């Protein structure tokens, strides 16, 4: 199933909101929360990563690999994590 970008972005923010301030999430957690079957959530991963890069470009979240903050304008290879960024809105 195709999910609009705003649905994916909302889920990223929702999952980060549920974690401690310094905690991170894996993009696969986002995909798995939107699609239950493995083929479907795996197919959603490129979209989740693309939306995450857009959120990172707006400094809403940070993309990281280990302790390194990644450039949102590049397509990172390998596993990444998502963390709250400088403009993350915490209620």
Q: Taking the domains of the chain in order of start, what are their residue ranges?
A: 5-84
The confidence score (pLDDT) of residue 63 equals 97
The confidence score (pLDDT) of residue 91 equals 56
* Structural contact between residues 85 and 59, judged by C-beta atoms closer than 8 angstroms: yes
Nearest-angstrom CA–CA distance, 47 and 18: 22
Q: Return all residues near 10 (Cβ < 8 A) that are at least 6 apart.
A: none
pTM higher than 0.85: yes
Residues of the chain below pLDDT 70: 1, 90-91
The confidence score (pLDDT) of residue 1 equals 65
Distances 51 to 58, 71 between C-alpha atoms, Å: 11, 14
Sheet (strand 61-65) strand order:
24-25, 81-84, 61-65, 68-69
The confidence score (pLDDT) of residue 64 equals 97
What number does CATH give the domain 5-84?
Answer: 1.10.10.10
């Amino acid at each position: 199933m195709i999910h609009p970008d705003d649905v994916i972005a909302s889920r990223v923010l929702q999952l980060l909101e549920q974690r401690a301030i310094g905690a991170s999430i894996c993009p696969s957690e986002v995909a798995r929360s939107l699609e239950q079957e493995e083929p479907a959530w795996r197919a959603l991963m490129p979209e989740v990563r693309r939306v995450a890069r857009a959120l990172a470009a707006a400094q809403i979240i940070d993309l990281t690999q280990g302790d390194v903050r990644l450039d949102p304008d590049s397509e990172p290879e390998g596993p990444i994590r998502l963390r709250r960024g400088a403009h993350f809105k915490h209620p």
